[in-house]
Structure 1
Amino acid sequence: MTLTDGRRPGDRAVAADHVSLRRNNLSVVLRHVRESGPKSRARIAADTGLNKATVSSLVAELVERGLLREGPADSTRALGRPGQLVELDGSGVCGIGAEINVDYIAISALDLAGDTVIERRDPLDVAHLDPSTTLDKVADLVREAVTAVQARAGQLAGVTVAVPGLVQGDTGDLKLAPNLGWGEIQVIQEMRSRLGEPSYPLHVDNEANLAALAAYSELRKNTPVQDLVLLTGAVGVGGGMVSNGHLLRGGRGYSGEVGHMPVAPPGRTCGCGRTGCWETVVSLSALLHKATDRDDPVRDPSLDVEQRLAGITRRAEAGDARTLTALNEVGTWLGIGGAILVNILNPDVLVLGGYFAVLGPWLKEPLEKAIRDRVIAPDGGGCQVVRSDLGFAAAVRGGAQISLEQVLVDPTVIGRVDSGVAQ
């Protein structure tokens, strides 16, 4: 039997398989150059196992799509005519990450090479605003970032919104964000409506997961780390876990809510309504409760969180006894909970993010002591404690990276530079 256009029934499947195979090979070449640096076509072929003619064709298409570019001659070649190196471009391909947190909202746009197009964080007392008002303001930030991408004639891969709460993996719906006081909200649908049903993809994810991905990418530049736990702290405490290079999300995407481990003594009520949660003794609000009086300016949520932490830092550097006592106590509790995670997951690295990173010089010593005392494996299971250099930008950068990931999975989502139309 033949179809009306002359093809046999199996031809369509063959054509689909060919398209799928080419997309996969484009992804292989793009990832290889992105992770390994400039390579000649011959070296790419040798490293990936693809034949040279196929690599030449794939590189040509990736150059047309603005994802790779021709580099200098290969000076490492000893004999014969030097080959031309191929290097990552992607300066016109951008992903955007946005974040909603208890006392700020933020935005970041990165290109495929990891360079920042725009980054901004605005103090905002989200916990005392209704969700609609907050989402309006986040949409304004997204529009600002989209404009910045368009100003450089860039193509937008997508937008990922980070939230400090439970995000259902299959739908992307926010189920609960206790420290925001938010219940079930269809964040993607709400943002789509505010942004005028945009053509670019929209995603939502847990902020600690995205921060962990950003920290993992940063550490991988200098260290062959495969397993890490990131602890990020502000008003709440979250955790992101990477195992063998993959983010651990759990069955429904609810993993990482380490702040609600019941390890603290009964006392202060957590934002989730329970007592005994870990974050009641290690969150920024817990530290401020121990170190400051109620009317202290560093408790003012209208101030940028980095300004507030700068005040705590100055007091610690000046040797203020109350501040140092509070930091030691929080660091010890941080180590008690951290030891549980190290015993269970045995990560290569425990990364301190958020406010833990800023105040790391005072938190790290009591934390490490608690881990040494409580982790059963010798030398704390080989786990190294490090401070993230990403500050409070980790989640938005992780969101931008997630948005760019689909380009690495399928480079054909980006239009060819000469036509501007994805093929």
Structure 2
Amino acid sequence: MTVSEGTAARLGARTADQMSVRRHNLSVVLNHLRVHGGRSRARIAAETGLNKATVSSLVAELLARGLVREGEIERGSVGRPGQTIELDAHNFIALGAEVATDYVSVIAMNLRGEPVSEQRLALDTAGLRAEAVLRRLAGLVDSVIDPLAAQGAVPVGLTLALPGITDPASGLVWDAPNLGWHETAVLEPLRTHLGEPGYPILIENEANAAVLAELDVRGRTSPPDLLLITGATGVGGGIVTGGRLLRGSRGFAGELGHMQVDPAGRRCRCGRVGCFETVVGLGALLRALAPADDPVRDPSIDVVQRLDVVRSRLEAGDPRALAAVEQIGDGLVQGCGSLVNIFNPGMVVLGGYFAALGPWFAPRLRSDLDTEVFAPKSGGCRIELSTLGFSAAVRGGALRATRHVFDDPGLVPYRAEAGHLSGVMS
């Protein structure tokens, strides 16, 4: 190697290192604003440990990329007041989508994590081929994106949440028993139906996506060990230990719905007998609550509307409805007790239909859980209800879709180039 070649190599390595440091610092500033809200440049520097000149340069780049904007003058700060810098809620949107057993849904959220549009379509997905479901879902995605794109918003990514074992690397759903999907390609057909968009598309287990949303809504008040049990036709679980989502060695952890709780019970769609979801899933509740021809068991009716009817019957003291909830409560206490014995979470969050009917489930769980938990006082576990309704998984999906932007803001083109993100965001 000649002297000039060696010098060029050293200069190239130094430049690469400088670029890497800058990308890291851009991420630090953007994430700081996401977590803490609007800040002046001086305050960002003080709180992150970066020097003021560096912060000014980083903010200028984030402004040019349309990721932040200047807000009001910061009040109450020491020294000369400065203009706040905050995440821009208008230029970019992240998308979350979900395929459940009786609906598909889509949400668009801005980079502040605020929903800007959401649609849900009642659909008997278990009765349709995967291709048909994904085509309907793509149409729903377009109906959410198109009005926002007309206003100048650019999608940065989409995460599809599914009730089963997913493989993000291959884009396959290995097993989603309640949908009847086995080793089913999902990503490629969805990309095709969406017209090969430039933004990245990911897949995620729906309970894992939901627990990401639960962590986000609780912020710094969230306990480091948390268990989400979300109820729909199936039952899913999201497990947080030490502040991190537990995925397992292959990403398959959290299939709480398929732990056996009744060896002599009903056969599950997974092929086993007495799975947790056969005992406490929405299907179990509705079978106990109403005959087959009752509208509350009609999957073509939106699940929220059906649960409103169930709630009305409970409030009216309907004996069959109350007996059904009592039956589900028995199974919920038993299953939650086993899970608390294994994971010792600081909090169990009930999501999905468990939260929708929370006034009937939560008191029972709080009063009886101690009888199923070996540790005293339920091991310090408290019971809370999700406030996200049936939007938890799509919200978590949208949050997941923003991750690459916050990890490397330099992937986002400067606004002058940002007519679309084809190639840049992929």
- Aligned-pair distance for 1:239? 0.5
Spell out the pairing of 1:332-347 with structure 2 (5 A cutoff): 332-347=330-345
The alpha carbon displacement at 1:118 in A equals 1.5
Distance 1:129 1:344 in 2: 37
Give the CA deviation at 1:178: 0.2
Please say if 1:99 is aligned against 2:98: yes
Q: Distance in 2 between matches of 1:148 and 1:244?
A: 41
Flag the 1:191–1:219 CA change in 2: closer, same or farther, 3 A: same
| SS state at 2:204 partner | strand
Asked if the contact 1:169/1:254 (under 8 Å) is kept, the reply is: no
Alignment of 1:360-399 (within 5 A): 360-399=358-397
Residue 8 of structure 1 aligns to a residue whose secondary structure is helix
Distance 1:54 1:135 in 2: 46
- 2: CA distance between counterparts of 1:78 and 1:302? 59
Stretch moving more, 368-377 or 250-259: 368-377
2:289 corresponds to which letter in structure 1?
A: A
Range that drifts further, 384-393 or 364-373: 364-373
Instruction: State the partner residue of 1:182.
Output: 181
- Structure 1 SS opposite 2:118: strand
Given the alignment, which residue of 290, 293, 313 partners 2:291?
A: 293
Instruction: Look up the equivalent residue of 2:213 and give its one-letter code.
Output: A
Take 2:305 and 2:196, find their aligned partners in 1: how far apart are those partners? 36
Percent identity, please.
Answer: 49
Alignment of 1:21-40 (within 5 A): 21-40=21-40
Distance, in Å, in 2 between the alignment partners of 1:139 and 1:3 is 57
Contact 1:158 / 1:202 at 8 angstroms: preserved in 2?
A: yes
Per the alignment, in what secondary structure is the counterpart of residue 22 of structure 2?
helix
Aligned partners of 2:228, 2:193: CA distance in 1, in Å?
32
| Residues in 2 aligned to 1:224 and 1:184: alpha-carbon distance in whole angstroms | 35
How far apart, CA to CA, are the structure 2 residues paired with 1:267 and 1:419?
60
CA distance in 2: counterparts of 1:299 and 1:415, whole angstroms: 49
In 1: Cα distance, 2:210 partner to 2:46 partner: 35
**In 2, distance between residues paired with 1:337 and 1:98?**
29
Q: What SS does the aligned partner of 1:183 have?
A: strand
- The equivalent residue for 1:412 is 410
Aligned letter for 1:235?
Answer: T
Instruction: Report if the CA contact (8 A) 2:104-2:137 is conserved.
Output: yes
Structure 2 residue matching 1:185: 3-state secondary structure? strand
1:57-111 residue CA offsets vs partner (Å, 9 max, x unmatched): 11111111122222222222344x2222222224211111111111101110101
Q: Distance in 2 between matches of 1:235 and 1:123?
A: 14
Give the 3-state SS of the residue equivalent to 1:252 in structure 2: coil
Separation in 1, partners of 2:32, 2:22: 15
Shift in Å at residue 225 of structure 1? 2.8
The match for 1:209 is 208
User: Alignment partner for residue 323 of structure 1, among 313, 321, 324?
Assistant: 321
**Aligned counterpart, 1:274:** 272
The 8 Å contact of residues 227 and 244 in structure 1, kept in 2 or not, is answered as yes
Moved more, 340-349 or 207-216: 340-349
For residues 246-301 of structure 1, the C-alpha deviation after alignment (integer angstroms, 9 at most, x for no partner) is 21111111111100011124221111111111111100110111111222111111
Choose 97-106 or 15-24, whichever is displaced more: 15-24
- Tell me the TM-score normalized by structure 1: 0.95
What SS is found at the alignment partner of 1:220?
helix
Q: Deviations over 1:216-266 (max 9, x none)?
A: 111227x24332111111110000112233211111111111000111242
Question: Counterpart in 1 of 2:227?
Answer: 229
Decide which moves more: 230-239 or 168-177: 168-177
Query: For 1:239-278, what aligned pairs fall within 5 Å after superposition?
Result: 239-278=237-276
Equivalent residues of 2:91, 2:154 under 8 A apart: yes
Comparing 309-318 with 368-377, greater Cα deviation is found at 368-377
Q: Is the 8 A contact 1:2 1:9 kept in 2?
A: no
How far residue 6 of structure 1 moved from its aligned partner, in angstroms, is 9.0
Shift of 1:353: 0.8
Partners of 2:178 and 2:38 in 1: how far apart?
45
Residue-by-residue CA offset, 1:173-221 (whole Å, 9 max, x unaligned): 2100000111111211111222222211010111111011111111227
Tell me the equivalent position of 2:141.
Answer: 142
- Matched to 1:176, the amino acid is D
Structure 2 gap segments, 5+ residues each:
none
Contact 2:207 2:230 in 1 (8 A): yes
2-side partners of 1:153 and 1:43: how far apart?
31
Q: 1:52 maps to what in 2?
A: 52
Equivalent residue, structure 2, for 1:161: 160
CA distance in 1, matches of 2:137, 2:332: 31
Q: Which residue of the partner structure matches residue 109 of structure 2? A: 110
- Call closer, same or farther: CA 1:343–1:148 in 2, change over 3 Å: farther
Aligned counterparts of 1:412 and 1:304: Cα–Cα separation in 2: 41
The one-letter code matched in structure 2 to 1:184 is E
CA contact (8 A) 1:339 1:370 kept: no
Please give the TM-score of this superposition, normalised by the length of structure 2: 0.94
What amino acid does structure 2 have at the position aligned with 1:414?
Answer: V
Q: CA RMSD in A?
A: 1.9
- Counterpart Cα distance in 2 of 1:310 and 1:77: 48
CA deviation profile, 1:1-60 (whole Å, cap 9, x unmatched) = 359889522332222221111111101011111111222222211211111111111111
Following TM superposition, by how much is the alpha carbon of 1:135 offset from its aligned partner in structure 2, in angstroms? 1.1
Q: Look up the equivalent residue of 1:152 and give its one-letter code.
A: Q
Name stretches of at least 5 consecutive residues in structure 1 with no aligned partner: none
Superposed CA offset, 1:149-196 (max 9, x none): 312211211111111000125434210000011111121111122222
The 1:2/1:417 distance shift into structure 2, 3 A limit, reads farther
Q: Does the 8 A contact of 1:281 with 1:333 survive in 2?
A: yes
**Pairs aligned (count):** 421
The amino acid of 2:267's aligned partner reads T
C-alpha contact (below 8 Å) 1:2/1:8 kept by paired residues:
no
